[in-house]
Amino acid sequence: MKYSRIIGTGSYLPDRIVTNAELETWVDTNDAWIVERTGIHARHLAAEGEGTCDMALQAAKRALEMAACSAQDLDLIILATTTPDQIYPSTACLLQSRLDNHGAPAFDVQAVCSGFLYAFSIADKFIKTGAAKRALVVGAETYSRILNWQDRNTCVLFGDGAGAVVLEASDEPGVLSTHIHAEGSFNHLLYVPGTVAQGQIQNGDGFTKMHGQEVFKFAISALSSVVEEALVTNQLDKSKIDWLVPHQANIRIINATAKKLKLPMEKVIVTVTEQGNTSAASVPLALDAGVRDGRIQRGQTLILEAIGGGFTWGAALVKY
Ligand code: ACO
């Protein structure tokens, strides 16, 4: 088996939709500013008591159903999240229990908004080396719980949700290559400072802090370079890309990557407008949207990319 191949996708968004107009009543912001700077019109927020595992479970069930695969057939479960339900066990283990899977390795990956690309890359390598045959890869976030809803610099940007894929070993392509990177010296530009110790949050608070302009500049250059790296590795011309499935942080960052690839926006899956930035869930949510509405077809070539706190970033070139 030379490749891992996507055999199912699924996603879940909480029912509650918060529009920019509603946000205007919470914090000093306005619809025109948010739309012009980010492209975001609305985001979904988890209900009280609804957690990351709850959303992951719904996305996973939908991906398994599309894959016509039972949870008991999974031999690897990786869940990317920045907002685990508990310090431990991992949300992947909580999900495994609710899926009634027994014995498969299950673990979380923490790479903030690049988490899904990291998890996807790890699962691909497990499958390519023969260590796993069928893997569930999930990105799930209750990002709303690490936002200060009085901080207009951050709270307008994010939302909650989950996305999942099932990967299976295959002789047919498949995931062509994955590329992940980190530059920890930028840890001060996008972070949540708090640490839990002695039963309390220490060293600051549990809310997201961001230097937006620095993140913006780094994102554009890192995403351009990692997309180029994926193309060069596969000796593939950018004209062969059918779909860009980008991390959904900001429409201006997405536009810049599409421009670099010379892809018209009709060839880009965009969900940021209605979902905001769902961190590790954003790429699999976008992928599932494109698959389920029929835009993404079997045999097409996709490029997935993301950037997040760390900084971390990554891309995957995929024959769907
Ligand atoms: N509503 C109204 N005004 C606002 C808001 C808001 N929500 N937020 C900031 N402003 C004001 C600022 O106070 C500032 O006012 P001033 O000029 O009077 O001081 C003005 O708008 C401009 O602020 P900037 O920060 O310079 O705005 P910018 O054009 O850089 O846009 C933004 C900000 C949208 C955050 C942009 O920098 C961006 O998208 N950065 C990347 C963010 C990102 O992608 N983060 C996620 C990474 S993934 C992860 O790992 C979580």
Identify whether residues 212 and 141 lie together within a single domain. Answer: no
Q: What pLDDT is stored for residue 216 in this prediction?
A: 96
CA-closest residue to ligand 1 atom 47: 308
Among the candidates 154, 172, 190, a domain finishes at 172
Contact call for residues 143 and 205 (beta carbons, < 8 A): no
Same domain, 14 and 133: yes
| pLDDT at residue 1 tops 90 | no
**What total number of domains does the chain contain?**
2
Q: Is 277 a catalytic residue?
A: yes
% of the chain exceeding 90 in pLDDT: 98
C-alpha 145/C-alpha 207 separation (Å) is 8
61-88: average pLDDT: 98
CATH of the domain at 308: 3.40.47.10
The pLDDT of residue 193: 96
Final residue before a domain boundary, out of 144, 172, 200: 172
In this structure, the answer to whether residues 128 and 250 fall within a common structural domain is no
User: 214 lies in which domain range?
Assistant: 176-319
Strand segments, DSSP code E, in the chain are: 3-12, 16-19, 42-45, 76-80, 106-109, 134-141, 161-170, 175-182, 190-191, 195-197, 200-202, 209-210, 243-246, 301-308, 312-319
Domain boundary residue among 127, 142, 172? 172
Q: CB of 170 closer than 6 A to ligand 1?
A: no
Same domain, 265 and 233: yes
Å from CA of 4 to ligand 1 middle:
39
Please indicate whether residue 53 is annotated as part of the active site. no
Is 247 known to be catalytic? yes
Q: Indicate whether 161 pLDDT > 70.
A: yes
Residues 6 or more apart in contact with residue 251 via CB below 8 angstroms: 38, 39, 40, 270, 272, 273
| 168 and 180 both lie in a single domain | no
What are 257-288's pLDDT values in tens digits? 999 889 999 999 999 999 999 999 999 999 99
Ligand 1 site, residue 215, Cβ cutoff 6 A: yes
